Amino acid sequence: MQDYKKILKLRFENKSQRYIADSLQVSRNTVKKVYDAADQAGLFWNDAQFLDNAQIYSRLFPESQE
């Protein structure tokens, strides 16, 4: 499982998608997918910091939980 929490934290710190992808060793497509899902879900660092990675995943991709 990707580290969605770290992606959202680095986004909050205004790191570029390329920097995030390189530092977490994920594709830029993965970072963009998380950005898009977070925007759609309205999930940003101020809420995500209190959730674990599994909770973040279920908020970002609820259709995958069914």
How many other C-beta atoms can be found within 10 angstroms of the C-beta atom of residue 2?
Answer: 16
Rounded CA-CA distance 45/48 in Å is 5
Match 């898009």 to its residue by tokens: 36
Long-range contacts of 12-16 (CB under 8 A, 24+ apart): 12/44, 12/45
Per-domain boundaries in the chain: 4-65
Provide the residue-wise pLDDT of the chain in tens; the chain has 66 residues: 579 999 999 999 999 999 999 999 999 999 999 999 999 999 999 999 999 999 999 999 998 765
